Chain A
Amino acid sequence: MNIWKISVHNLKSKPLYTLLSVFILSLSITLLLGIQQLKSSFKYQMENNLGNIDLVIGAKGSPLQLVLSSILHLDNPTGNILYKEAKKIAKNPMVKMAVPISYGDNYKGFRIVGTTLNFATLYNAEIKEGHTFQKNMEVILGHTVAERLQLKVGDDFLSSHGLVDNNIDLHDEKLIVVGILKPTHKVIDRLIITNLESIWDVHNHKNDDGKAHENENKDDDDDDHNTDNKEITSLLISFKSPLALLTFPRKINKNTNMQAALPKYELNRLYEFTGVGFKTISWIAYLILFISGTTIFISLYKMIKEHAFDLALLRTYGASNFQLIKMIAYEGLLIVCFAFILGFSFTKSGLYFLFNFLENRPQQIILQEVPLNQVIQIISLVLLIIILSISLAIYPILKMNISTIISNEK
Chain B
Amino acid sequence: MIKTENLTFYYKQEEATFCFPDIALKEQEHLLILGKSGIGKTTLLHLLSGLLKPVGGNVFIDGTATNLLSENKLDTFRGQNIGLVFQKNHAVHSLSVFENLKARFFFSKKKISTSAINELLNELGLLELKNRKILKLSEGQLQRLSIALSVIHSPKVILADEPTSNLDDENCTIVIELLKKYAKKNKSNLIVITHDHRIKPFFKNSITL
Nearest Cβ distance between residue A38 and chain B, in whole angstroms? 41
- Give the Cβ gap from B205 to chain A, nearest Cβ, in Å: 24
Q: Mark B74-94, 1 if CB is under 8 A from A, else 0.
A: 011011101010111011111
Q: Is B52 in the interface zone, CB < 8 Å from A? A: yes
Q: Which residue of A lies closest to B83 (CB)?
A: A316
Query: How many angstroms between the C-alpha atoms of A322 and B103 in the bound complex?
Result: 16
Contacts of A322 in B (CB 8 A): 72
Q: Verify B95–A9 contact, CB threshold 8 A.
A: yes
Do residues A319 and B91 form an inter-chain contact, with CB atoms below 8 A? no
A309 engages B90 (CB within 8 Å): yes
Contact A318 B94 (CB under 8 A): no
User: What residue in chain B is nearest A315 (Cβ atoms)?
Assistant: B75
Partner among A1, A6, A318 whose Cβ is within 8 Å of the Cβ of B78: A318
Q: Which residues of B contact A410 (CB under 8 A)?
A: 87-88
Is the CB–CB distance between A407 and B46 below 8 Å? yes
CB proximity of A318 to chain B, nearest CB, Å: 1
B104, CB-defined interface residue at 8 Å: yes
A10 to B134, CA, bound (A): 13
Interface 1/0 per residue, A369-410 and B, CB below 8 Å: 000000000000000000000000000000000110011011
Contact with A along B59-80 (1 / 0, CB 8 A): 0000000000001100110111
Asked, given contacts A1-B112, A9-B95, A12-B94, whether A409 binds B86 with beta carbons under 8 Å apart, the answer is yes
A360 within 8 A of B: no
B102 with A313: CB separation less than 8 A? no
Query: Does B202 sit within 8 A of A, measured CB to CB?
Result: no
Using Cβ atoms and an 8 Å threshold, which residues of chain A touch B80?
318
Complex Cα spacing A314 to B112, Å? 16
Given the complex of chains A and B, what is the CA–CA distance between A315 and B95 in angstroms? 16
From B42, B76, B92, B133, A313 is in contact (CB under 8 Å) with B92
Q: Which of B52, B78, B93, B105 contacts A307 (CB 8 A)?
A: B93
Which of B51, B52, B99, B104 is the most central at the interface, judged by chain A CB atoms within 10 Å of its CB? Answer: B51
A13 at the binding interface (Cβ < 8 Å): yes
Chain A hits for B93, CB < 8 A? 13, 307, 310
For A303, give the chain B residue with the smallest CB separation.
B94
Residues of A within 8 A of B112 (CB): 1
User: Across the two chains, which residue of chain B brings its CB closest to A317?
Assistant: B107
Do A313 and B91 touch (CB < 8 A)? yes
Number of interface residues of B (CB under 8 A): 35
B109 within 8 A of A: yes
Q: How far is the CA of A314 from the CA of B106 in the complex (A)?
A: 10
Q: Assuming A403-B51, A407-B42, is B92 touching A316 (CB within 8 A)?
A: no
Which single member of B46, B72, B95, B103 contacts A403 (CB below 8 Å)? Answer: B46
- Residues of chain A in range 5-47 having any CB-CB distance to chain B below 8 Å: 5-6, 9-10, 12-13
CA distance A323 to B71 in the complex (A): 13
Smallest beta-carbon distance A208→chain B, Å: 86
Interface membership of B108, Cβ < 8 A: yes
Residues of B within 8 A of A12 (CB): 94
In the assembled complex, how far is the CB of residue B159 from the closest CB belonging to chain A, in whole angstroms?
10
Q: How far is the CA of A380 from the CA of B113 in the complex (A)?
A: 41
- Cβ of B188 under 8 Å from chain A: no
Q: Which positions 287-331 of chain A face chain B at CB distance < 8 Å?
A: 307, 309-310, 313-323
Of all chain B residues, the one with the shortest Cβ separation from A9 is B94
Contact A318 B76 (CB under 8 A): yes
B72 near A320 (CB under 8 angstroms)? yes
Contact A13 B94 (CB under 8 A): yes
A314 and chain B: residue at smallest CB distance:
B107
A318-B80, A318-B108, A320-B75 are contacts. A9–B46 as well, Cβ < 8 Å?
no
Residues of chain A with a CB closer than 8 A to B79's CB = 316-319
List residues of chain A with CB within 8 A of the CB of B71.
320-321
Per the 8 Å Cβ criterion, residues 327-385 of A in contact with B are: none
0/1 string, B145-158, CB within 8 A of A gives 1: 00001000000000
With both chains docked as a complex, state the minimum distance between the C-beta of B133 and any C-beta of chain A, in angstroms.
8
- Which residues of B are found within 8 Å of A323, using beta-carbon distances? 107
Chain A residues contacting B46 (CB-CB under 8 Å) are 403, 406-407
Residues of A contacting B95 with CB < 8 Å?
6, 9
Could you jot down 11 A-B contacts, CB within 8 Å? A1-B102, A12-B94, A13-B93, A313-B91, A315-B75, A316-B79, A318-B109, A403-B52, A406-B46, A409-B86, A409-B88
A residues adjacent to B (C-beta < 8 A):
1-2, 5-6, 9-10, 12-13, 307, 309-310, 313-323, 402-403, 406-407, 409-410
Contacts from B to A (Cβ < 8 Å): 42, 46, 49, 51-52, 71-72, 75-76, 78-80, 82, 84, 86-88, 90-95, 99, 102-109, 112, 133, 149
